Amino acid sequence: MEFSTIFGMGLGAFLIILSIMIAGQLSYFWDVASVLITIGGTIASTIISFRGKSLKNIIPVLKMAFKKSGSSDLNKDIDLIIEIANVARREGLLALEEYVDKIEDPFLKKGISLIVDGTDTELIKNILETEVYFIQTRHAEGQDLFNTMAAFAPAYGLIGTLIGLILMLQTLDDLGSLGKNMAVALVTTFYGSVLANLVFTPIAKKLKAQSDAEVLQKELYIEGLLSIQEGENPRIIRDKLNSFVARRDLKAPSGKPEVMEVDEVSSFERKAGGGKG
C-alpha cells in the first residue's frame, strides 16, 4: 500500500474537519442535495466523456494510486544490466538464452529474447519503444479519467451554487427557507473544491508520477540492451546508464567493483543456476 497517498488524503481531510469543528459545527457542512449535485453530476459527466471500457478500468486504475509501486531503484536496475552485459561479454549473446526465464520483468525478458534470437538492433529498438509508447498511452487514459473528474467537480459545485441562489431568490418571502437554500449554494461549491483538490487531482498526479518512473526504467532497459547487443564494455554501459539517475541518487554498487572481472561469476548467473564451469 502506498503510504504517502493515504497519509496525504487523511491529513487533508483531518485538517479540514478540524478547522470546521473549531469554527463551528460539522453538521453545518452536510447537505444531501449538495452531495447529489456534486458527486452525481461529476459521475454522470464522466460516464458521458469516456468509453465503457475505460470506465470499467476505473477501479484498477484507482487501486494503482494506493498500491506501492514496484522497485524504482535505478541503481539496482543498472547493476542487473551490467551483470547481463558481463555474461554476454564473457560467453556470448547466445549464453543469455538459459537465463531468460530467470528474469522477472517481462519487458526486460522480451528484450533479452530478441537479442538471443539475433534480431536487428534497429528492430529491437522499434519493438521496445513501441511497447513503451502503448504503456504511456494506457497510463495517460487513467490519468485523464481523474483529471476530467477534477474539472467537473468544481463545475458542478458552481451549478449547485446557482441552484441554491435561484431557490433563495424565489423564496425571499419565506425566511425559514433562506438558510437551507443558501447552505445548498455554498456547501456544494465546498464539496466540488474539496473533491477536485484533495482527491481527483492528487490521484491523477500520483498516477503520472508512477507512469513516469516506469517509463524511465523501461528506457534504461532499452539503452542497456542495445548496448549489450553492440558488445560495448560494461564500464561504458554503466556510465551511459548512470545518466538516467539523478546525481543525488547515484551511488556506487555496494561491495562490488564498477566492472566485474571476466572470470567472476555474477549473482545473475548464480540465480540462474550457479553459472558455468
The predicted-structure confidence for 30-61, as pLDDT tens digits, reads as follows 888 889 999 999 999 999 999 888 888 888 88
Q: Are the C-beta atoms of 84 and 268 separated by less than 8 Å?
A: yes
Of 79, 78, 77, 97, nearest to 88 by C-alpha is 97
Burial of 89-109, coded b for 16+ CB within 10 Å and e otherwise, reads: bbbebeebeebbeebebebbe
How far, in Å, CA of 228 to CA of 251, rounded?
A: 22
User: What pLDDT does residue 275 have?
Assistant: 47
Say how many C-beta atoms besides its own lie within 10 A of residue 25's C-beta. Answer: 9
265 Rama sector, left if φ>0, alpha if ψ -120 to 50, beta otherwise: beta
User: Please, which pLDDT band fits residue 69 given cuts at 50, 70 and 90?
Assistant: low
Lowest mean pLDDT among 123-132, 166-175, 234-243: 166-175
Could you report the per-residue pLDDT of 176-227, keeping only the tens digit for each? 777 777 777 889 999 999 999 999 999 999 999 889 888 999 999 999 999 9
User: What pLDDT does residue 167 have?
Assistant: 80
How far, in Å, CA of 231 to CA of 276, rounded?
A: 20
Amino acid at position 196, single letter: A
Say how many C-beta atoms besides its own lie within 10 A of residue 9's C-beta. Answer: 16
User: Please, which pLDDT band fits residue 264 given cuts at 50, 70 and 90?
Assistant: very low
How far, in Å, CA of 39 to CA of 145, rounded?
A: 15
How far, in Å, CA of 68 to CA of 64, rounded?
A: 8
Could you report the per-residue pLDDT of 134-168, keeping only the tens digit for each? 999 989 999 999 999 999 999 999 998 998 888 88
**Residue-wise DSSP of 89-103:** HHH-GGGGGGGGGG-
How far, in Å, CA of 103 to CA of 133, rounded?
A: 22
pLDDT higher than 70, residue 248: no
275 Rama sector, left if φ>0, alpha if ψ -120 to 50, beta otherwise: left
User: What pLDDT does residue 246 have?
Assistant: 65
User: What pLDDT does residue 1 have?
Assistant: 64
User: What pLDDT does residue 262 have?
Assistant: 43
pLDDT higher than 80, residue 17: yes
Q: Are the C-beta atoms of 224 and 244 separated by less than 8 Å?
A: no
CA 157 to chain centre: 28
pLDDT greater at residue 26 or residue 69: 26
Could you report the per-residue pLDDT of 76-130, keeping only the tens digit for each? 889 989 988 998 888 888 878 877 777 888 999 999 999 988 888 899 999 999 9
User: What pLDDT does residue 199 have?
Assistant: 94
pLDDT greater at residue 259 or residue 152: 152
Report residue 236 as a C-alpha cell: 561504458
